[in-house]
């Protein structure tokens, strides 16, 4: 799976601008796939060059022209090949988790600050997913709803585990005083 596969999948539902594609990466997809404009636009260029999408420049009054991208039949076939291929092994990368793993080599106050920050970030993500669910749910397929519900549950568990871990870290710190 790569950004090309995801963008082709997003274009299956109809033509989109780069901005609209970025917006989709920031909403339902944000829990499990991310892409910046620095990734999206070069990827769109590669997909166009490969013949998987076409770009239409739309003239706008008093605004710059906008490019609207549509998937081609070759792009649909490429996306079908992706869906028919075996799922890749999930890879979870987290700078926070690496730092936490080596937290024994850092001051406890710093580790506690990392955990507090992770809790707040996760609460923010959970809140965004909860708010988004009300908006997205009517338009979501059953499989998309599974993705959303999994994101909600994993964030709730992450918050609980981090809060429990922070309490243990702080109580161990007090016990050593």
CA dist., res. 60 & res. 67, Å (int): 11
Task: Name the one residue in this structure whose structure tokens are 């106050």.
Answer: 109
Summarised one tens digit per residue, pLDDT across range 83-135 is: 999 999 887 788 999 999 999 999 999 999 999 999 999 999 999 889 988 88
Q: How confident is the model at residue 176, as a pLDDT?
A: 61
Give me the pLDDT at residue 173, please.
59
Average pLDDT of the segment spanning 6-26: 92
Question: Of the candidates 85, 72, 66, which has an alpha carbon nearest to the alpha carbon of residue 7?
Answer: 72
**What pLDDT does residue 136 have?**
85
Q: pTM for this one? A: 0.76
Bigger pLDDT: 61 vs 69? 69
Each domain of the chain, given as residue ranges in start order, spans 3-84, 95-175
Q: CATH number of the domain at 3-84, out of 1.10.10.10, 1.20.1630.10, 2.20.25.90, 3.30.930.10?
A: 1.10.10.10
- Among the residue ranges 48-57, 59-68, 161-170, the one predicted with the least confidence is 59-68
Confidence at residue 91, expressed as pLDDT on a 0 to 100 scale: 79
**pLDDT of 166 strictly over 80:** yes
% of the chain beyond a pLDDT of 90: 67
Residue 177 has pLDDT above 70, yes or no: no
Q: Is the pLDDT of residue 2 over 90?
A: no
Question: What per-residue confidence (pLDDT) applies to 6?
Answer: 92
Nearest residue to 9 (alpha-carbon basis) of 141, 100, 146: 141
pLDDT digits (tens, 9 = 90+) for 145-156: 999 999 999 999
| Alpha-carbon 19 to chain mean position | 16
The SS3 assignment for 35 reads: coil
Q: Which residues contact 168 (CB under 8 A, 6 or more apart)?
A: none
Residue ranges in 27-141 assigned as alpha helix (H): 37-49, 73-84, 95-101, 108-136
Q: What percent of the chain has pLDDT over 70?
A: 97
């Amino acid at each position: 799976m790569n950004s090309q596969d995801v963008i082709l999948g997003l274009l299956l539902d109809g033509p989109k601008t780069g901005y609209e594609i970025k917006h989709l990466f920031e909403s339902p997809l944000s829990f499990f796939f991310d892409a910046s404009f620095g990734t999206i636009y070069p990827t769109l260029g590669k997909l166009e060059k490969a013949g998987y999408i076409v770009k239409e420049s739309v003239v706008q009054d008093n605004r710059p022209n906008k490019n609207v991208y549509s998937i081609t039949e070759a792009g649909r076939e490429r996306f079908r090949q992706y869906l028919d291929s075996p799922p890749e092994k999930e890879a979870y990368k987290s700078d926070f988790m690496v730092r936490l793993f080596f937290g024994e080599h850092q001051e406890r106050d710093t580790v506690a600050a990392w955990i507090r920050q992770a809790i707040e970030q996760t609460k923010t993500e959970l809140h965004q997913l909860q708010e988004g669910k009300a908006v997205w749910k009517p338009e979501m397929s059953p499989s998309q709803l599974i993705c959303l519900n999994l994101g909600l549950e994993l964030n709730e568990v992450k918050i609980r585990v981090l809060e429990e871990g922070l309490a243990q870290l702080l109580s161990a710190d007090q016990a050593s005083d």
